[in-house]
C-alpha cells in the first residue's frame, strides 16, 4: 500500500474542504489538520500493519466530517464546488462512465475550442453470451483540472458550432447523444458565428433532432448551458447548479456597482440563495427530471462508485427515451414499467436497442416539444377568466378547421376543379368563336374612357404621398411635445446641426436629418405608425409577469413597472394588418423591466406563434428592446429560451414566415434563442445587437471592445442579421419582405 500517496490524497481532501468553506467551519478544519499532522508524525515510526490501521482510522474520520459538512452546504458552496479544479470533468466521465471512446477534433489545446469536447463513445452491455457495443455521441464542456486553455468551460461560438455539427452527425448515424453541461456561461464574443446567434442555431436544430438527447448538468450557466442542453431527459448532479446568471453577475446588478468593482461577498451568497440554483430547486420547479446523487461535498475523480451510478443513470435515461417512443403503445408501457423496476437492481441487465425508425423519431420530437411546452406553467399569472378560456379554445378549433379547409382541402381539390374549369372555358371559347365569326363586324377596337384619360392627360400625384392637413391617424411621441433642441450624438464627427424635438420625434420619426442616427422611439410609434390604422388588436393581455421565486423586493418592482407602463408584461401580442396583409406580432417592450423575458413573456410569445400557425398568418417579432432573460425569475426565465425556440421551429416547419425586427438595444437570452434563430432578422439603424454588453465582455474576457462593437452595421457585417432598415421605411420594407420572402401566397408556402 502506498501510504505516501494516500496521505497526499487526504491533504488534498483537506485543502478541498478549506477551499469550499473558506473561513467557515474552522473547528472541523482544525480537527482534520491536527489529526493529519499527528498521523504524519506517528506513521514514520510505526510498522506497516500499524500504518494501514492508522490510515484507515483517519480516512474514516475524513469521511465522517465530510458527511457532516455536506448537510451544511449553502448554494454558494455548490457554486464553489463545481468550479473547483478537483471537480470531476468530462474527460473523467469519458474515462470511467463509457467503455471506450475516441475524442473528435481536439487534443488538449490543439482544438478549435478546447472548452468543448466531443467524443464517439460506446457502452458495452453483456446480455447472456452476447456483447452489445452501443455507440453514443458525447458532447460537453470540459473545464480541465486547472487547465487554463480550457477557459473554465466557457465555450466560444465556434465551439458551439462544432457541437452542433456533431449533433447532426449523430442524427445521420442514428445514435443517441449524451451531453454534459460544465459551463459557467458562453464566451461572449461576437466574432462569426457569434455567441448569441450560434446558441440560437443550436437550440433551433436541437428542437427537432431525430435522435434522443440526454443531458447531465453539473454547472449550468445560462445560455452557454442551453446550447447543448435541450434534451429529452435532463439529469442534474446533486452538487451542481443551473442558473440564469452567475451569483456574482446577479450581485453586481443588484448592488448597482460600476465596472471593475466587485460586489460584496454577502450579496453574492444572498443572490445564490435567492436565484434557486440548486438541483433540488430545479427538480421541484420541473426543469430537470432526476437528480444524480453525489458523494459528500461533491464528486471528485477518485469517487469510482459515483461514476458507476452516473453510468447507470445515463443508460437508464437513454433506455427510457427510446422505450418512450418505440414500438407499440401497450408493449412500450409494459417495457418502461419493467425497466423502471429493474433499474433499481441493475439497469444494465435489460437490453434496449438504441435505434429509432421514422415514426418513432416523429413521436420523439413531438414528445420533446410537449415536455418543454408544459414547463414553467406556474411561473406566471394567467388571469384569463374561465369563460374566455372556453371561447378561446373554441375559437382555436375553428381557426384550425378553417385553415384546414382553406389551405389543405381546397388547395388539393380546388386546384383540380380550377384546371377543369379552365379547360372547359378554353374549349367553349373556341366553339363560340367559330359560331359567332360570320356575325362579328370589323373596325377599331373600342377604348374605355379611363385609358384615354391615362394616355392623354398629365398624371397627378399618387394618393397618400403627401401629408395633408387633416392627418390625425399617427401616434405622436411625448418627446415631440417638448419645445427644445436636441443634439445628435454624432454632431462632433458628422457636423449635425441641432434638431428641434417636435421635428425630430414627430415628422422625422426620431431620425437625424444630417447623419441618419436613429434616436429611440416608443413602441407605440411602431404600433400606430407602421401598422394599418386601428388594425392592431391586442390579445393575451391577461397573462401577467409575476415573481415566481418570491425574489425579495421584486414584487414591488414588477408592480411599479406594470403601473408605469400600463401593461402587464414586457411582451405584447397583437393581431394586425400591414398594407392589408394580416399578421400576428409579438413586441418586446424595452421600458418594462428593460424588455426582459420571463415566464409570462415566453408563454405569450408561444401563444402568439400558435395563433399565427393556426390562422396561417406571418409572424413578426418586433423587438423594441430587450436586455435578456429576467434574472429575478431564475431558471423559470432561462427555460423560455428552449421553449420559445421550439415554438418558433414548429411554426416555421408548418410553413410560417417568421421575421424579426430589432430596434434600440437587443441582448442576451432572447437573441440567443427565439429571435436569433430566425432566418430573416432585420434591424433598424443605430440599434445594438449582441450577446453581452461591453461591461460584461470586459469583465469575463478581459477584452476591451470598441464603442461600435454591437452596432447593427457590425452585426450585418458579421452575418448575424440580414438587413438594416431606416425607421421611416419600415412599413414599405415589411410589405416588400412579406411579398418577396412570403411568396405567392404572401406568407405561407
Partner 1 sequence: MQDVKAILEEIKASPYEEVAILAPHAGKVQFKVAGEGTKVYAPSGTWREKPGTLLASLERERNPRPITCTRKGEVQSVNTQLDGTFVEAGTPLMVLRHFFTKEEVTQAILKKVLFLFPAPERAKYLFAPEVDKKVKVSGCQSIKVKDGMDLFIVSRMKREKPLAYNGPDGILYAVYFSYDQNVDAGQPLVSVCPENQMDMIRDVVNRVQSDWEERE
Told to check if 704 binds partner 1 by CB under 8 A, we report yes
Task: Tell the smallest beta-carbon distance from residue 490 to partner 1 (Å).
Answer: 13
| Chain centroid to CA 745 | 31
**Cα 690 from Cα 450, distance rounded (Å):** 54
Q: Which of the stretches 43-51, 73-81, 468-476, 699-707 binds partner 1 when contact is defined by CB under 8 A?
A: 699-707
Task: Tell the smallest beta-carbon distance from residue 499 to partner 1 (Å).
Answer: 9
Q: For the CA atoms of 116, 118, 122, 123, what is the dihedral angle to 10 degrees?
A: 20
- Where does residue 41 rank: exposed (0-12), middle (13-18), buried (19+ CB within 10 A)? exposed
* Cell representation of residue 666: 437587443
Told to check if 713 binds partner 1 by CB under 8 A, we report no
Specify the residue, 72 or 498, whose C-beta has the smaller distance to partner 1.
Answer: 498
- DSSP label at 720? S
Task: Tell the smallest beta-carbon distance from residue 491 to partner 1 (Å).
Answer: 8
Specify the residue, 482 or 550, whose C-beta has the smaller distance to partner 1.
Answer: 482
Q: For the CA atoms of 643, 561, 392, 371, what is the dihedral angle to 10 degrees?
A: 20
Specify the residue, 486 or 515, whose C-beta has the smaller distance to partner 1.
Answer: 486
**Cα 440 from Cα 504, distance rounded (Å):** 65
Task: Tell the smallest beta-carbon distance from residue 698 to partner 1 (Å).
Answer: 12
In this structure, the number of other CB atoms found within 10 A of the CB of residue 127 comes to: 11
Q: Which of the stretches 153-161, 568-576, 584-592, 701-709 binds partner 1 when contact is defined by CB under 8 A?
A: 701-709
**Cα 474 from Cα 526, distance rounded (Å):** 10
**Cα 168 from Cα 311, distance rounded (Å):** 24
349: part of which helix (H) or strand (E)? none
**Cα 608 from Cα 602, distance rounded (Å):** 10
Task: Tell the smallest beta-carbon distance from residue 501 to partner 1 (Å).
Answer: 9
Q: Do 189 and 715 touch, CB atoms closer than 8 A?
A: no
Specify the residue, 173 or 191, whose C-beta has the smaller distance to partner 1.
Answer: 191
Q: Do 602 and 376 touch, CB atoms closer than 8 A?
A: yes
Specify the residue, 487 or 732, whose C-beta has the smaller distance to partner 1.
Answer: 487
The 456-495 site mask, x for binding partner 1 (CB under 8 A), equals: --------------------------xxxxxx--------
**Cα 612 from Cα 656, distance rounded (Å):** 8
Specify the residue, 191 or 433, whose C-beta has the smaller distance to partner 1.
Answer: 191
Q: Which of the stretches 214-222, 247-255, 411-419, 700-708 binds partner 1 when contact is defined by CB under 8 A?
A: 700-708
User: Which of 619, 566, 625, 622 lies closest to 595, judged by CA?
Assistant: 625
Specify the residue, 484 or 566, whose C-beta has the smaller distance to partner 1.
Answer: 484
Task: Tell the smallest beta-carbon distance from residue 259 to partner 1 (Å).
Answer: 13
**Cα 31 from Cα 68, distance rounded (Å):** 13
Specify the residue, 261 or 441, whose C-beta has the smaller distance to partner 1.
Answer: 261
Which of 346, 441, 707, 744 contacts partner 1 by CB under 8 A?
707
CA angle (176, 180, 182) in 5-degree steps: 165
Task: Tell the smallest beta-carbon distance from residue 485 to partner 1 (Å).
Answer: 4
Q: Which of the stretches 170-178, 198-206, 553-561, 704-712 binds partner 1 when contact is defined by CB under 8 A?
A: 704-712
**Cα 353 from Cα 376, distance rounded (Å):** 33
Q: Which of the stretches 11-19, 343-351, 359-367, 703-711 binds partner 1 when contact is defined by CB under 8 A?
A: 703-711
Task: Tell the smallest beta-carbon distance from residue 103 to partner 1 (Å).
Answer: 39
Write down the residue that cell numbers 486547472 correspond to: 146
Q: Which residues contact 356 (CB under 8 A, 6 or more apart)?
A: 174, 210, 211, 212, 322, 325, 326, 364
Number of residues counted as binding partner 1 (CB under 8 A)? 11
* Cell representation of residue 618: 406571418
Q: Which residues contact 394 (CB under 8 A, 6 or more apart)?
A: none
The sign one gets for the Cα dihedral 111, 112, 113, 117 is negative
Specify the residue, 72 or 482, whose C-beta has the smaller distance to partner 1.
Answer: 482
Specify the residue, 12 or 482, whose C-beta has the smaller distance to partner 1.
Answer: 482
Specify the residue, 418 or 485, whose C-beta has the smaller distance to partner 1.
Answer: 485
**Cα 330 from Cα 334, distance rounded (Å):** 6
Task: Tell the smallest beta-carbon distance from residue 727 to partner 1 (Å).
Answer: 22
Which of 191, 498, 560, 653 contacts partner 1 by CB under 8 A?
498
The 645-684 site mask, x for binding partner 1 (CB under 8 A), equals: ----------------------------------------
Specify the residue, 330 or 706, whose C-beta has the smaller distance to partner 1.
Answer: 706
Task: Tell the smallest beta-carbon distance from residue 525 to partner 1 (Å).
Answer: 22
**Cα 143 from Cα 87, distance rounded (Å):** 9
Which of 472, 706, 740, 744 contacts partner 1 by CB under 8 A?
706
Told to check if 500 binds partner 1 by CB under 8 A, we report yes
- Chain contacts with partner 1 (rule: CB under 8 A): 482-487, 498, 500, 704, 706-707
Amino acid at each position: 500500500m502506498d501510504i505516501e500517496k494516500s496521505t497526499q490524497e487526504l491533504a488534498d481532501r483537506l485543502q478541498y474542504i478549506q477551499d469550499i468553506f473558506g473561513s467557515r467551519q474552522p473547528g472541523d478544519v482544525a480537527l482534520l489538520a491536527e489529526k493529519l499532522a499527528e498521523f504524519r508524525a506517528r506513521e514514520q515510526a510505526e510498522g506497516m500493519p500499524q500504518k494501514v490501521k492508522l490510515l484507515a482510522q483517519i480516512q474514516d474520520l475524513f469521511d465522517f466530517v465530510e458527511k457532516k459538512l455536506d448537510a451544511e452546504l449553502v448554494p454558494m458552496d455548490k457554486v464553489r464546488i463545481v468550479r473547483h479544479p478537483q471537480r470531476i470533468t468530462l474527460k473523467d466521465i469519458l474515462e470511467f462512465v463509457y467503455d471506450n471512446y475516441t475524442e473528435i477534433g481536439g487534443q488538449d489545446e490543439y482544438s478549435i475550442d478546447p472548452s468543448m469536447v466531443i467524443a464517439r463513445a460506446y457502452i458495452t452491455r453483456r446480455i447472456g453470451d452476447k456483447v452489445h457495443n452501443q455507440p453514443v455521441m458525447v458532447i460537453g464542456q470540459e473545464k480541465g483540472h486547472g487547465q487554463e486553455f480550457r477557459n473554465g468551460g466557457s465555450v466560444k461560438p465556434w465551439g458551439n458550432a462544432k457541437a452542433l455539427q456533431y449533433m447532426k452527425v449523430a442524427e445521420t448515424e442514428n445514435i443517441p447523444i449524451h451531453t454534459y453541461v460544465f459551463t459557467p456561461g458562453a464566451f461572449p464574443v461576437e466574432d462569426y458565428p457569434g455567441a448569441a446567434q450560434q446558441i440560437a442555431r443550436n437550440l433551433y436544430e436541437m428542437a427537432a433532432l431525430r435522435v434522443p438527447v440526454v443531458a447531465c448538468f453539473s454547472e449550468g450557466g445560462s445560455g452557454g448551458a442551453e446550447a447543448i442542453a435541450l434534451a429529452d431527459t435532463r439529469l442534474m448532479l446533486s452538487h451542481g447548479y443551473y442558473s440564469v446568471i452567475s451569483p456574482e453577475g446577479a450581485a453586481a446588478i443588484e448592488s448597482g456597482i460600476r465596472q471593475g468593482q466587485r460586489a460584496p461577498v454577502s450579496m453574492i451568497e444572498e443572490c445564490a440563495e435567492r436565484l434557486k440554483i440548486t438541483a433540488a430547486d430545479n427538480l421541484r420547479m420541473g426543469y430537470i427530471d432526476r437528480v444524480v446523487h453525489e458523494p459528500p461535498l461533491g464528486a471528485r475523480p477518485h469517487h469510482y462508485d459515483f461514476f458507476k451510478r452516473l453510468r447507470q443513470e445515463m443508460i437508464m435515461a437513454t433506455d427510457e427515451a427510446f422505450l418512450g417512443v418505440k414500438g407499440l403503445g401497450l408493449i412500450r408501457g409494459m417495457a418502461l414499467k419493467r425497466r423502471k423496476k429493474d433499474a433499481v437492481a441493475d439497469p444494465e441487465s435489460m437490453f434496449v436497442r438504441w435505434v429509432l425508425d421514422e415514426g418513432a423519431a416523429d413521436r420523439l420530437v413531438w414528445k420533446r416539444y410537449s415536455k418543454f411546452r408544459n414547463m414553467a406553467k406556474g411561473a406566471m399569472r394567467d388571469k384569463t377568466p374561465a369563460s374566455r378560456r372556453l371561447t378561446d379554445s373554441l375559437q382555436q378549433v375553428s381557426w384550425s378547421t378553417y385553415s384546414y379547409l382553406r389551405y389543405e382541402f381546397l388547395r388539393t381539390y380546388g386546384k383540380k376543379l380550377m384546371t377543369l374549369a379552365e379547360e372547359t372555358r378554353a374549349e367553349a371559347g373556341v366553339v363560340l368563336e367559330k359560331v359567332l365569326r360570320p356575325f362579328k363586324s370589323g373596325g377599331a377596337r373600342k377604348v374605355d374612357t379611363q385609358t384615354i384619360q391615362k394616355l392623354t392627360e398629365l398624371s397627378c400625384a399618387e394618393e397618400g404621398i403627401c401629408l395633408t392637413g387633416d392627418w390625425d391617424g399617427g401616434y405622436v411621441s411625448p418627446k415631440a411635445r417638448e419645445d427644445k433642441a436636441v443634439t445628435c450624438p454624432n454632431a462632433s464627427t458628422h457636423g449635425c446641426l441641432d434638431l428641434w424635438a417636435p421635428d425630430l420625434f414627430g415628422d422625422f420619426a426620431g431620425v437625424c436629418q444630417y447623419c441618419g442616427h436613429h434616436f429611440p422611439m416608443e413602441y407605440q410609434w411602431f404600433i400606430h405608425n407602421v401598422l394599418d390604422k386601428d388594425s392592431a388588436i391586442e390579445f393575451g393581455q391577461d397573462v401577467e409577469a409575476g415573481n415566481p421565486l418570491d425574489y425579495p423586493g421584486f414584487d414591488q418592482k414588477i408592480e411599479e413597472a406594470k403601473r408605469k407602463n400600463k401593461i402587464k408584461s414586457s411582451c405584447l401580442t397583437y393581431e394586425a394588418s400591414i398594407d392589408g396583409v394580416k399578421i400576428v406580432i409579438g413586441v418586446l417592450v424595452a421600458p418594462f423591466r428593460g424588455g426582459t423575458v420571463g415566464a409570462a413573456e415566453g408563454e405569450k410569445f408561444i401563444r402568439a406563434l400558435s395563433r399565427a400557425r393556426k390562422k396561417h398568418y406571418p409572424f413578426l417579432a418586433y423587438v423594441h428592446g430587450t436586455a435578456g432573460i429576467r434574472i429575478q425569475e431564475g431558471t423559470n426565465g432561462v427555460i423560455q429560451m428552449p421553449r420559445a425556440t421550439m415554438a418558433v421551429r414548429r411554426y416555421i416547419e408548418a410553413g410560417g414566415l417568421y421575421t424579426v425586427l430589432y430596434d434600440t438595444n437587443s441582448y442576451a437570452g432572447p437573441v440567443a434563442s427565439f429571435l436569433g434563430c430566425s432566418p430573416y432578422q432585420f434591424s433598424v439603424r443605430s440599434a445594438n445587437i449582441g450577446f453581452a454588453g461591453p461591461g460584461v465582455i470586459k469583465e469575463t474576457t478581459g477584452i476591451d471592445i470598441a464603442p461600435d462593437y454591437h452596432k447593427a452595421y457590425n452585426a450585418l457585417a458579421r452575418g448575424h442579421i440580414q438587413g438594416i432598415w431606416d425607421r421611416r421605411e419600415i412599413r414599405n420594407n415589411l410589405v416588400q419582405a412579406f411579398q418577396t420572402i412570403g411568396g405567392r401566397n404572401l406568407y405561407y408556402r
